[in-house]
């Protein structure tokens, strides 16, 4: 799969839409109260799976899907992807419903830098000097938050690690598994977990689906669309735009989450936390500068190669 050489306006629109939807998820989850985090994630899994089955039928995607099912290696990768994204979903929902939305934003601010580190230690990639600088600054930010604020940012680091690992698995799979088939299989592996969670919630007498109000039931019924649609839009975007553009767009989500947590929900933001976030934002600025420089260099190289080919 080649990286797009030019930025497609449609690809940018898909990417912006995906990140905007991800940024709105905390508000959506808060609208679903009194639904608890375990019930909510269970419905996300089950309804996503149902939606994927419908989409496979509509777009006639059963043939490539069944071709993937016949390959044990790919099935194994999708099972691992499902396990990793489950951790991400569950931690995110637990955090959003327990007044830790600001910390979820920190996780997604850190995620691109964590992804870079995965590339180094797992894929053997080499970092450019500015990338190492961004990694070092981000590490300092985590230390500042732990020491000055007095709490370990386990939510942020778990979200960064899980989503970064999910991206790494997707990279390992490559174009062999299309977005819809991949999401279908990932949801399929999680169906037993979701069923167990719903049974336990029902036994505790806290199941809310269909018991609160018509509006609540309708909103909760959209959990599958709210889960699957951003992932599908993201996949469509990455096929049409370069990774440097994707890298810049991805900060839409944590910015929206930060605004939701700090200014809409009024989560505490003492000076120590502002300092920690400030250092993270410096790391991000360095990261984006490196992306811009690398993207410009790649475009010049491609143009020079094209001119040489013509000559």
| Predicted TM-score of the model (pTM) | 0.86
At residue 311, the pLDDT reads 53
Q: What is the pLDDT of residues 180-227, one digit of tens each?
A: 999 999 999 999 999 999 999 999 999 999 999 999 999 999 999 999
Range from 50-64, 112-126, 226-240, 276-290 that averages highest in pLDDT: 50-64
Q: What is the pLDDT of residues 216-261, one digit of tens each?
A: 999 999 999 999 999 888 878 877 776 667 777 888 999 999 999 9
Where are the chain's structural domains? 9-305
Query: Does the pLDDT value for residue 303 go beyond 50?
Result: yes
Average pLDDT over all residues of the chain = 88
How is the chain classified by DSSP, letter by letter? -PPPSS--HHHHHHHHHHHHHHHHHHHHHHHTTTS-HHHHHHHHHHHHHHHHHHHHHHTT-HHHHHHHHT-HHHHHHHHHHHHHHHHHHHHHHHHHTTT-HHHHHHHHHHHHHHHHHHHHHTT-----HHHHHHHHHHHHHHHHIIIII-S--HHHHHHHHHHHHHHHHHHHHGGGS-HHHHHHHHHHHHHHHHHHHHHHHHHTT---TTTS-HHHHHHHHTHHHHHHHHHHHHHHHHTTS-HHHHHHHTTHHHHHHHHIIIIIS-----HHHHHHHHHHHHHHHHHHHHHHHHHHHHHHHHHHHHHHHH-
At residue 150, the pLDDT reads 75
The proportion of the chain whose per-residue pLDDT surpasses 70, expressed as a percent, equals: 92
At residue 45, the pLDDT reads 96
Q: Mean pLDDT, to the nearest integer, of 278-286?
A: 90
Q: Mean pLDDT, to the nearest integer, of 85-103?
A: 95
pLDDT-derived band of residue 292, with 50, 70 and 90 as boundaries?
A: confident
């Amino acid at each position: 799969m080649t990286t797009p050489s030019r930025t497609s306006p449609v690809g940018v629109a898909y990417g912006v839409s995906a990140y905007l939807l991800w940024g709105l998820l905390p508000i959506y989850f808060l609208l679903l109260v009194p639904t608890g985090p375990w019930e909510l994630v269970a419905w996300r899994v089950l309804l996503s799976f149902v939606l994927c089955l419908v989409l496979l039928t509509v777009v006639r995607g059963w043939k490539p899907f069944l071709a993937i099912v016949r390959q044990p290696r790919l099935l194994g990768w999708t099972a691992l992807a499902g396990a990793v994204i489950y951790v991400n979903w569950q931690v995110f929902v637990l955090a959003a419903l327990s007044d830790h939305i600001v910390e979820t934003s920190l996780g997604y601010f850190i995620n691109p830098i964590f992804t870079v580190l995965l590339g180094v230690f797992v894929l053997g990639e080499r970092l450019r000097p500015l990338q190492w600088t961004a990694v070092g600054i981000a590490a300092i930010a985590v230390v500042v938050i732990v020491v000055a604020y007095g709490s370990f940012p386990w939510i942020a680091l778990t979200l960064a690690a899980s989503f970064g690992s999910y991206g790494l698995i997707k990279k390992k799979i490559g174009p062999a598994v299309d977005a819809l088939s991949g999401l279908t299989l990932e949801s399929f592996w999680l169906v037993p977990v979701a069923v167990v969670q719903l049974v336990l919630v029902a036994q505790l007498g806290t199941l809310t689906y269909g018991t609160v109000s018509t509006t609540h039931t309708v909103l909760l019924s959209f959990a599958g669309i709210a889960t699957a649609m951003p992932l599908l839009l993201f996949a469509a975007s990455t096929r049409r735009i370069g990774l440097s553009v994707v890298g810049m767009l991805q900060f839409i989500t944590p910015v929206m989450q930060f605004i939701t947590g700090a200014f809409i929900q009024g989560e505490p933001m003492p000076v120590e936390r502002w300092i920690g976030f400030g250092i993270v934002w410096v790391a991000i600025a360095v990261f984006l500068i490196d992306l811009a420089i690398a993207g410009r260099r790649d475009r010049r190289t491609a143009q020079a190669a094209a001119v040489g080919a013509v000559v």
